[in-house]
Amino acid sequence: MKVSILGSGSSGNSTFIEVNKVKILIDAGFSGKKIKEKLEIIGEDINSIKALLITHEHGDHILGAGIISRKYNLPIYITKESYDVCQHKLGKLDPSNLNFIKGDFYFEDISITPFDVMHDAVRTIGFSVKYMDKKLTLATDIGHITNIVREQFKGSQIAIIECNYDYNMLMSCDYPWDLKSRVKSRNGHLCNTDTAKFLTELYHEDLEKVFLVHVSNDSNCYDLAYNAVEFELIKNDIDLDLEIVKQNTVTPIYKSKK
């Protein structure tokens, strides 16, 4: 299993995953041209992508989705609820490339489990991607860690989880009060300390890699997010391969050890 985060934050999100030589994207929140260029940075051809999975309808997750589906004949997997509110942004899609997510499904030999998360979209989902004994789980926009989220992340070798804001920075930044309330609500985003506590609960000896994603430019900073999580892990004697993901930087491909 291989993974690279092509960028993550309020200006765009997309993740490349390769499992058993099958290559997929989760979200396409950059322009089609940008996604192509970002894939080339890690030596990948956009023509080799076999499917695009969408977590929810916000623009920083779907900006280039319709474009790359049309241009590269790429199947899209999305919930009906999300599609209904963003189809005008996606544009016209080939009906054969539009697949509504209703539950667990297989794409070639890959098992994909969608799971609902709390966020202020019509519907937001995370994904667990499994092949044999390998498992990757992703939740990039999530306001609260529910038991469903805990269960889905359990046993993952690779975890991709939001680390959006620092509470003190959020309270002192220039956001209007209604936006601050939205961000810190159970349907908003995860703060650094909540992500850190979740990772201490999640930890098991086969957890190889954690990517911290969707870090806010206005109510967080990369060092603060990383240090908050690392501090909690060290306090609990946990040694993890932790990587902070930046908005405009493509992470090197990480290859699972198993």
Residue with tokens 């993550």: 8
CATH entry 3.60.15.10 includes domain 2-251: yes
> What residue segments make up the domains of the chain, in order of their start?
2-251
* Average of per-residue pLDDT across 182-186: 93
- The sheet with strand 158-162 has its strands ordered as 105-107, 110-117, 124-131, 134-139, 158-162, 209-213, 241-244
Q: What is the residue-averaged pLDDT of the chain?
A: 96
b/e map 85-102, b = 16+ CB within 10 Å: ebeeebeebeeebebebe
Residue with tokens 């975890």: 159
pLDDT, tens digit (0-9, with 9 covering 90-100), for 53-112: 999 999 999 999 999 999 999 999 999 999 999 999 999 999 999 999 999 999 999 999
Instruction: Give SS3 for 15.
Output: strand
pLDDT, tens digit (0-9, with 9 covering 90-100), for 159-178: 999 999 999 999 999 999 99
pLDDT on residue 258: 65
